[in-house]
């Protein structure tokens, strides 16, 4: 979060919307290649919302750490359209209009009439203020003008509906990931309600190791050379978190079978065999993925597995080996899929319990 501007400056910005807003669609020379959208943005440029919709100075002072997307998308709790609106205006004053925040959230609030009277002309103005790739801007304007005619009103209007760029897709993937994080955190809190302080400390070590592993995997085993790199990295991290919750649910519900005698040794052997295949594989056509990056993520995974084993033995005595077996087979498959080995099991086949 960027530091807040002094309140007097914020108030000044809120009173002079044009000065507070970022570049308006049509102001840049390259926008001239899109005369239709430039003309439409010019038509709505002076549309204003009711003055009462803007936050007062005391309300601004109470929202020094808010993020409008959190309140709008219910990322950290129940939705709050008033907080989302007030925070979005404050973000506008700070020039924070990067995707679904500031002007982007105001666009959605006024398009959908959430907590305010529907104001489609002002929503168009915000669509021109938040900007984006040319086809994104054109798509949003078209969708909003269609709503003015009563078309397409059966579903909520959303910033992410018209995303065409890798950058925009990354922002939307981040929103979705944060929503999922909140849901996972709530579920983990339920499962951990009866844990002892020692068990909670062990779980904290799992989460710390998971974070390190997820970052290492996203950096080392995901090709980050394309415009969709943000989406792919976010999805890779989310997959690890989802897998961890699945394992935790299985342990808590006694749904994870005890490893048969010698099973973990077999799984370790299979992992070693897969690792040998990885070490001799050529990563020449893998974009930013390198052998060194895979080694880094493998080291992080080993610490992640160790943290899980310690936690499982503390919380469900005797299940540490089964946990290790589960994670080892999961990682083996991931390595095989990374190099496109024929033994890779697709995730939708659900062959790894």
Residue ranges of the domains in the chain? Answer: 7-162, 169-349
pTM beyond 0.75: yes
| pLDDT value of residue 282 | 92
Q: Please state, in angstroms and rounded to a whole number, the distance separating the CA atoms of residues 321 and 150.
A: 60
DSSP characters over 27-95: SSGGGGG-HHHHHHHHHHTT----GGGSPPHHHHHTTTT--HHHHHTTSSSS--HHHHHHHHHHHHHHT
| pLDDT value of residue 15 | 38
Residue partners of 80: CB distance under 8 A and separation at least 6: 71
Contact 120, 148 (CB under 8 A): yes
| pLDDT value of residue 327 | 98
Q: Average pLDDT for consecutive 10-residue bins of the chain (353 residues)?
A: 32 36 80 91 95 89 84 84 93 82 94 96 95 91 96 94 89 89 94 96 98 97 89 93 96 95 96 96 92 97 98 97 97 96 76 48
Task: Using alpha carbons, select from 13, 36, 186, 164 the residue that is nearest to residue 102.
Answer: 13
229-252 and 166-191 are packed helices; what angle lies between their axes, rounded to 10 degrees?
10
User: Which H/E stretch holds residue 13?
Assistant: helix 7-15
Contact 22, 129 (CB under 8 A): yes
Task: Using alpha carbons, select from 91, 86, 121, 95 the residue that is nearest to residue 23.
Answer: 95
Contact 168, 136 (CB under 8 A): yes
The CA distances from residue 304 to 191, 215, 254, 262, in Å, are 20, 12, 21, 22
Contact 142, 115 (CB under 8 A): no
Residue with tokens 């050379």: 225
| pLDDT value of residue 246 | 96
| pLDDT value of residue 349 | 52
């Amino acid at each position: 979060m960027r530091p807040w501007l002094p309140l007097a400056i914020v108030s000044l910005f809120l009173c002079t919307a044009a000065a507070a807003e970022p570049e308006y669609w049509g102001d840049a020379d390259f926008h001239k290649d899109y005369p239709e959208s430039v003309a439409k943005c010019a038509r709505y440029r002076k549309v204003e919302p009711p003055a009462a919709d803007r936050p007062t100075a005391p309300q601004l002072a109470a929202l020094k750490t808010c993020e409008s997307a959190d309140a709008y998308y219910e990322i950290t709790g129940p939705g709050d359209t008033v907080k989302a609106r007030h925070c979005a205006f404050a973000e506008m004053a700070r020039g924070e209009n990067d995707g679904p925040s500031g002007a982007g959230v105001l666009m959605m609030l006024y398009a959908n009439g959430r907590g305010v009277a529907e104001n489609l002309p002002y929503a168009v103005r915000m669509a021109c203020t938040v900007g984006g790739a040319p086809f994104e801007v054109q798509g949003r304007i078209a969708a909003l003008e269609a709503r003015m005619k009563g078309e397409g009103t059966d579903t909520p209007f959303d910033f992410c509906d018209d995303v065409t760029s890798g950058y925009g897709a990354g922002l939307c993937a981040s929103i979705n990931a944060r929503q999922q994080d909140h849901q996972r955190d709530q579920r983990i809190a339920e499962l951990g309600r009866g844990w002892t302080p020692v068990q909670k400390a062990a779980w904290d070590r799992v989460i710390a190791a998971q974070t390190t592993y997820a970052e290492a995997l996203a950096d080392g085993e995901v090709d980050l050379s394309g415009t969709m790199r943000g989406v792919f990295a976010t999805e890779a991290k989310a997959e690890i978190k989802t897998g961890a919750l699945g394992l935790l649910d299985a342990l808590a519900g006694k749904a994870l079978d005890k490893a048969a005698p010698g099973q973990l040794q077999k799984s370790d052997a299979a992992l070693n065999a897969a690792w040998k295949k990885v070490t001799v594989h050529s990563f020449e056509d893998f974009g930013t993925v390198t052998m060194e990056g895979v080694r880094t993520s493998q080291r992080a995974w080993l610490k992640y597995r160790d943290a899980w084993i310690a936690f499982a033995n503390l919380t469900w005595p005797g299940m540490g080996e089964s946990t290790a077996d589960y994670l080892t087979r999961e990682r083996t498959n991931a390595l095989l899929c990374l190099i496109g080995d024929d033994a890779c099991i697709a995730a939708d086949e659900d062959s790894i319990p």
